[in-house]
Amino acid sequence: MSSTPRASRTAVLVCQGRAAADGLIAPGRFADPTALPLLRADERAAVQWARAGVPPQSWQQRLDYETVRAAAELMAPRTIAIDDAIRAHPSPQLVILGAGLDGRAWRMPELAGVTVFEADQPATQQDKRDRAVGLPGAPPTFVPVDFGRDRLAETLAAHGHRADLATTWLWEGVVPYLTKAEVAATVAELAACSAPGSRLIVNFQSPAVSTALGRAVARLLTASTGRASVWANEPWRSTWTPAAMAALLTRHGYRVTRKENLLDTARALALPPVRARSLRHSQVMVADRA
């Protein structure tokens, strides 16, 4: 059996969630016109069902519909919280770690003139590059990196990242898939190439028995359709309390300036918290270096 990494399936689900939420959830605050073009034709069907709000009849299609709807309810507040943190702290460089099918380099006018780097596993990144061919505007600088073997700082430097300039680091939807040791090592490496004025925006999951149980149920439901779960090859490996994450960032010279869970974000946006537990345990923390 080949050990070559495959393109991320969770990246597709996240993109489907953004496409389903585009202009419908928190209109005026959330829009992502890049999401649907980044999806392939067979991945768009569940998005259209979710946007229409009409559950399909077949069990397999109904499961896809519910999965994408849940992703949309999470992605709207998460994206808004992160975009606000990027806008509030302009930097000459933005590095998106584990970018997946992120569309910020194309859709955020605030990034005009900013050098945007996307660091991701080679297979996922090549898949992204193939999908993004038709997007208008300048693409980011793609940095293929094997996070388990490559030195991130060295690889970024080889692609033009400057450690002497302030950098906004975006680490969204990645931390749960890393061990605690891998998370700590990554923070240390980011700190080593973060000039004064840099910002780290990190999205992570706090511990919750209900969340782990929900993912297990989702895997069983998917198995009932004869398909492998989207998370089959991408299991969660760590959760963090806000206090533990703040302590880690502080040890490496960052000062936490903002922390919120997505339930609070959703309530501030007047969004109905349909999946309150899931939102409560999804965290966004912002930390700056003096």
Q: Which strand (E) or helix (H) includes residue 72?
A: helix 59-87
Q: How far is CA 227 from CA 107, 198, 217, 220, 232, in A?
A: 33, 43, 14, 10, 10
Q: Is 245 helix (H, G, I), strand (E, B) or coil?
A: helix
Residue 221: pLDDT above 60?
A: no
**Residues 232-243 pLDDT 10s:** 567 889 999 999
The angle at the Cα of 239, spanning 237 to 245, to the nearest 5 degrees, equals: 125
Residue 115: pLDDT above 70?
A: yes
Question: Which pLDDT does position 3 carry in this prediction?
Answer: 40
The pTM of this model reads 0.90
Rounded CA gap, 206 and 40, in Å?
A: 32
Q: Phi/psi at 146 (nearest 5 deg)? A: -90, 105
Band of pLDDT at residue 228, cut at 50, 70 and 90: low
Question: Which pLDDT does position 150 carry in this prediction?
Answer: 87
Rounded CA gap, 191 and 177, in Å?
A: 21
Question: Which pLDDT does position 17 carry in this prediction?
Answer: 98
Average pLDDT over residues 31-46: 97
Q: Phi/psi at 97 (nearest 5 deg)? A: -90, 130
Band of pLDDT at residue 230, cut at 50, 70 and 90: low
**Residues 70-108 pLDDT 10s:** 999 999 999 999 999 999 999 999 999 999 999 999 999
The angle at the Cα of 283, spanning 214 to 12, to the nearest 5 degrees, equals: 60
Mean residue pLDDT of the chain comes to: 91
Question: Which pLDDT does position 229 carry in this prediction?
Answer: 56
Question: Which pLDDT does position 132 carry in this prediction?
Answer: 97
Q: Give buried/exposed letters for 1-27 (b at 16+ CB in 10 A, else e).
A: eeeeeebbbbbbbbbbbbbbbbeebbe
Average pLDDT over residues 221-228: 58
Question: Which pLDDT does position 275 carry in this prediction?
Answer: 87
